[in-house]
Structure formats: structure tokens, C-alpha cells
Chain A
Amino acid sequence: MLALFTLCFAALSFEALSLEAQGAAVPKLAEDPRSAASTDTRPILIQAGAVIDAKGQRFAPGSVLVKDGKILAVGSGLVAENAELREFGARAVVTPGLIEANAELEPLERAEEGVEITPRLRLADGLDPESRAWAGLRRNGVTSAFLSPSGRSVISGRGAVVKTMPTADDRWILDAAGALKATTGQEPSGGNIVPRFGRPNSIFYRRPTTRMGVTWEFRKAFSDAQLYAAARQAGGPLDPDAQVLADLMASKGEIRMRARLLQDIRTAIRLAEEFGLRLVIEEGIESFRSPEEILAAKAKLIYGPTLFQPAGIVFGFGFGGGSVRQQETDRNYLATPARLHAAGVEFALGSAEYAASDRGLAHQAAIAVHFGLPREVALRACTVVPATWLGIDKRVGTLEVGKDADLVVWSGEPFELATRPVAVMVDGAFADAQED
């Protein structure tokens, strides 16, 4: 059966190659040095000990044939005469490129801190193609990522979905107007000050100063937008910020809410319900305490990061014992992903501000597997699930003929603590190992 399968793919690949030989036109983009790889019409044949396509197939030994940034064939023992051969050895395993569902990158400036409600802000306006973060993401095997605006504002604006290999044009930006991000909990209020003496000489003299105040800001913004929508219908003036929120409610759109502790998760569920929005929960540190509530709310959960942080010890300094992150996450447990899975919750994994570091997605998935999450569930949580949720599953998430040639070659079985990505391909081009 497998042999038949392989033959079938091999035949497909030959057909495609002969088409090329007949002189199929390839667009030239000579202006852009980074697109040089995609203008190279020579196919690349990747061979490894195994290929996992994230659709349930495992080919061992496995090969992937790639051409012009797309996958031509996936199978066992593929042959392509004029292809550039890349052999990674019998221990290497190839998977689809990982998709980081929640990256909060430091070089993307923190939220616009002048106001709490900035629904029109687009993180895509602040992208820096020269940032080191892209290489950091690739080191984690990540080829696509949702870049989430910071949690410093209550409603901080739209995120962006990008490939992790910036191009000189905008091809690498898959969605410049991604989901709207909001934050519950302590972080948006952290840093706001109550004027006690002197003159208020900073934008941080303002509400909210508690998580209840944060919720109030969110609820007020959407309630005002409801009133606005009615007034606008009756010919009232345009308020572009309220319009965004009104449009979101009218389309029953998606709101991404960062919620860590259970009370914040509940707040997020309640708010989404109140305003008829589809909910995506970011981080969900305490989601394991009440998975049934998440299932009942039909919320999408992007769990993580999981941190090695022994319970009861709070790192950092400052009043109240440690940073917001540390106060809100000392209740995370290494087995949370396994417990969520056992409770029947489908989730994606995300690493938030660790996304570009050595505690990024590859590490998050390894911890999850090490503490009981089935390996194939972990792979889905880093590929198919986020691809579907981000609406990019037609292009990425699995190794299938016709999809983008985004893949990771691992030094061994993926998501083992001792395994690391040895090569990462984005749109048919291997990232420069020197640079990474």
C-alpha cells in the first residue's frame, strides 16, 4: 500500500518537472535579493529518517520534494533526477513548520500606552524586518506566527500573521489585520498611578488601577460602541474607534483575550458572551482548573507558556512580590497541557514573550510531551490547530502537495527535550544556518 502511495507521488513529481522542462514561466524578482531562492527553478529533495505530515501519516524513510516555494511531493524514497539533494541522515525527522499561535515579541514596541482602548492600532505598522526575533522564532522551528499586541492596554489593537523569514516586499505578511487583542487581569493596570501629590505630569495618572477597573474599561468601550452604533444608524457622527468595535459585534467577530488566572478566564468568557463575540483565550495558565467552562463557552484556547518555576517561589522584586507575569503564573503546572487534553479541550500551544527565545515553541511542546501530552497531539497543537484557527490552513500546517514549503528538520524525534531543529525552510528556502 505504502509503495503504491510512493509511486503515485513520484509520478506526480515527474509530471510537474517535465512541465517545467517545457518552459513554464517563472516570475522574475531580480530586485529582491531575498527572493533569489524562489526564482531558482531547481527543485530540492529533502531526505530524512522520517517525515511526519501532521495529517496522520509517517513516512520512514521520508522525503519531501520542494519547488518554487511549494511542496511537490511527500513520501518514501522519492526520486527526482535534476533536484538538489539535501540528506539529513537516518535520525532526522521532518515535520511541517511550526506555527506559533501567540508571539509577543519585545522589539515590537509595547502597546501604545497613551490610552487603554486602541482598537484601530495595527501591529503590522510596527514590524521590523531586521529584528533578531525572526531568527529566534526560526530556531524554535517556527515558520509562521501570530504576533500578538502587548497586554499593556485593555484593548490594544490588531495582531498580525507573518512568515518568519521577512521579504523585501510584503509577501511575508499573511494577515496585516489579524484578530483584535484585549487583556484581562493585572497587566493593563500595572504602572497606572493615582495622583496623590504634585501635578499629574504623566499619561499614567489614570484608571484602571485594578483588574476590576480593566474589566470596566472593556465593558464601557463595547457598551459605548453599542450606543454609538444606534446613534450612527440614526445619522450620528463617525467615531472610528467605536466603529471597529461595532463592526466586530455586528459580524460576531473574534476577540483574543489574554486571561491567565481563573477569574480572568471567567471574565473573558463573560465579556465575550455579553457582546456576542467569538473568544480566543491567550495563555490560560489556570485553564486546567475548569476545562468544562472553556468547553461550554466554545472558546479557542492558546495555552502557554509553561515555565519551570517551582510553586511557592516568586522571582523578581518590587512591591507585591515579583512582576505581573510572575504573580500571575506561579500557578502554572508542567502537566497542564496533558490535563487539558485529558479533559477533551482542543488547544494550540503558544509561548508569548518567550516565543523568540530558547523557551519558545519547540521547548513548550517538548515540556508538554515530557509531562504526558501525546506526541501527535502536541504536533497538532503547533501546526494544524493554529493554522486552522488563524485561517491560514489552506497554505500551511501540514506537509501536503501544493502547500507552502515550510518545514523543520529535527535532529531526532521532535519534542524530545534533547532534540532540536537543525534546519528550517520557509517558502522553499532554507534559513541561513550561520545567521540563525
Chain B
Amino acid sequence: MMRLVDSRGSSCSRSTARRVSLWLGSALACSSVLASAQEATFAVQAKKVLTGTGEAIDSAVVLVENGKIRAVGAGLAIPAGWTVHQHDGVVMPGMIDLGATLGGSELLENHESLTPDLRVAEGLDLWDPSFAAWLGAGVTSVYVIPPTGSVIPGSGAVVKTAGAAAQRIVAAEAGLEIGLNAGARRRDRAPTSVQGTALALRDLFGSPEAQASVQRAKRGELAVFAHADGVGEVRLAAQLAKELGWKARLVGPALPDQALAIARGAAIPLVLRPLDYGAEERTRRSYGALGATPHPLGFASLAQGGAEPGLRRGAALAVRAGLDPAIALRALTGGAAAMLGLEARLGTIAPGRDADLVWLDGDPLDLGTRIVAVFVDGKRADRGAEGH
């Protein structure tokens, strides 16, 4: 079978043309395949398609039309005149990072600790180089959040890591960020304690004059991403969610299995930090103990810019510790999209969804697997980056 994509020859997409002239300058060979990948309609024939719902289809075809997925399945008829791209590997949906601070250093209003009406979307630099790094790692959508340095640093936005500028912000106010963890508090600005944080939040959500975003969060129209580290903070998050009517997501618990025991009763989805190599045995066991839980899971790098999100690696390490691989994959894709309320657009390869696709040369949770190409809205967007 013809290998259609050469991992270095990927620099000719329209969306990256400007960068090409700036960064590379040299004439890398533009294969006809890649040029044609910018067409409005094309089909991908892959050895395996992971749809993001937990399903895997062998020898499948994905039909892409005007940046959306038209159909996916084995043995689909390809309309006459469509270009066909062969990929002798795996195609999966673009991954979703459920929390990273990309797009600038000025995203935290330091003066006060509760600033719920600040929107990260209004301070965001879409051409921050971190977006390209995330894209190269197969992440096509990021829930961009203010840095976790305040109790309510503001609301986060869902942003594509590539694509036409006008379409990159998928949701300008996708969730309200709330920090119950130590990183949200400072000694020289109220509240300085976790008890004080609880009281400040109860007062804010109890106030009829609270800001519009708080009112929306109270009505469950705006998801609350509650950052909690220790078990005590996790328990407080669940308690506040119940009291204050939050549609809550629990972000970054240090011991996910203990958080799960609390979150399950309260029906709160869990957003995990990627497991790292340096993690303690206790932490590793805790990730592993999640096993094949049906509880909604996602991953957030919680990175502040940087060279890579480490999402795929973190998920793979969690799988090595005992997390079910299908569960981990869903958490990176469809599960994460559902947590953002954007499952109709992101996270799965299904008719009508955005054609955000990642081509890999093997199992995504195998650390040796490379990312071969990344498509955003049906257009090849990576610059031939080696897989991260």
C-alpha cells in the first residue's frame, strides 16, 4: 500500500503557507497528496479509525466535506470525483486539552481573587507559539483557562489550535474557573484560607447582585471547573456544587480514585492531570484504580504555555498503571468534548462533526507511536511535526 504522507513533507497547507515562508524558507517537496488535501471534499482510507466514542473500525473510510465529517464506516462508497488519501495507520479525532493557559502571559487579574466576569477570550493571542506545539501533539482544541492563581480567575474559552482566525474560538465563555486548591490562594490577598474561600464563594453565589457569569453558573448554564487537589478540597468542591447549583467538573485531584468515590455520588465528571513519570507510587496506583470506570473523564495538561501538553503520554502512563485504554482514549476525545458541552462539534469522528483528525502510525497510547498529520476543520494544519 502506498504510504501517502511523508512525515516531513507537510508544509504546504494554505493555513501554514505564511509560516512556511517565515520558518522554513527552503523548498520542501510538496507532494501532490498534500496539495490535494486542501480540497473541499476528500476521503481518507485508513487501516483503523478510532471514533472517539470507544469504537474502533478496521479498514474504514472517512468522508470529509467542507471541513465537516460527512460519513465514517467500513466499506463506504466514495462519491465519484473525490480524492482518496490512503493512510496505513490509525486515524483518531483531534484530542482536547481540558485546561491549559495558552495565548499570553497577561491572563490573570491579580488585584482581586474573585473576578468572575473576566474572559480569557478577551486577552488571548491566537498566534502564541504554544498553540502550534499543542497542535503538533495532536491536540486540536484547547479549553484555554486563566492561570490558577485566584479563587475565580475568570471564564475559559474553547479554542482550536489552528484554522482560520475567525473560526478558532469555538466557545468564548465555556466554563467558569474556580480554584479551591492552594495555588488559588495567596497570603497577601483575601481569601487566604480554604475556609475563607468556601465562605467567599457562598457569599458570591448567594448574592442577588452577583455578576452575570455567576448568575449563569448558578442556573447551570455555565459549567464550573472546580480545581481541587487534596481529598478535603475535593469534598468541599462536591459540597459547594450541591449547595450552589453548579454544573461542576472536578479538575486536577491528586488522588483520582478517592476523588472518584466522592464525585460518583455527586455525579461530577473528573478532569485528570496527565500522569507523569515522576509520580509517586501512591499516585500511580490511584490513577490505575480508576480501571474501566464508566464515570465521565477528561484530561487537562494545566500547563502554562510550554513545549508540549504531555496529554497523550500522561494518558498512556495512566493506562500502564491500570486505566482502561478505551476509557483513556475517550477521555482524550469524545469524553472531553461532552464535558465542554461541545459533543455535537468536537471529539468524535461522526457525521456532522468538525473534521479535526489526527493520523498516527500506530496505537495512540503506545509511546513509540508518532503523529503523522493533523487536520483541523478538514485542512492539514501541522507543519510536519514529529509526534510528541
Contacts and interface: CB of A to CB of B under 8 A. Distances in A.
Chain A: interface secondary structure?
loop
B281 to A, nearest CB: 15
B196 A112 contact: yes
A109 B194 contact: yes
B232 interface: yes
A114 B231 contact: no
Contact of B193 (A31, A111, A204): A111
Given A126-B232, A129-B231, A129-B232, A157 B195 contact: yes
B192 A114 contact: yes
A121 B196 contact: yes
B190 interface: yes
A30 to B, nearest CB: 12
Contacts of B185: 109
B195 A112 contact: yes
A31 B196 contact: no
Contacts of B196: 112, 114, 118, 121
Contact of A112 (B188, B191, B233, B239): B191
Nearest to B232: A128
Given A31-B261, A128-B230, A128-B231, A121 B199 contact: yes
Nearest to B254: A130
A125 B198 contact: yes
Contact of A109 (B190, B193, B235, B255): B193
A106 interface: no
Nearest to B233: A128
Nearest to A166: B231
A110 B192 contact: yes
Contacts of A115: 190
Contact of A126 (B187, B188, B194, B261): B194
Contacts of A201: 188
Nearest to A129: B231
Interface string A241-283: 0000000000000000000000000000000000000000000
Nearest to A112: B196
A127 B261 contact: no
A192 to B, nearest CB: 12
A123 interface: yes
B230 A122 contact: no
Interface in B227-269: 230-233, 235-236, 239, 255, 258, 261-262
A113 B261 contact: no
Interface string B143-163: 000000000000000000000
Contacts of A127: 232, 235
B231 A125 contact: no
Nearest to A120: B199
Interface of A: 31-32, 109-115, 118, 120-123, 125-131, 149, 157, 168, 201-204, 240
30 contacts: A111-B192, A112-B192, A112-B199, A113-B190, A113-B192, A114-B190, A114-B196, A115-B190, A118-B196, A121-B195, A121-B196, A121-B199, A125-B195, A125-B198, A125-B199, A126-B193, A126-B198, A126-B232, A128-B230, A128-B231, A128-B232, A129-B232, A130-B231, A130-B232, A130-B255, A168-B258, A202-B189, A203-B189, A203-B190, A240-B203
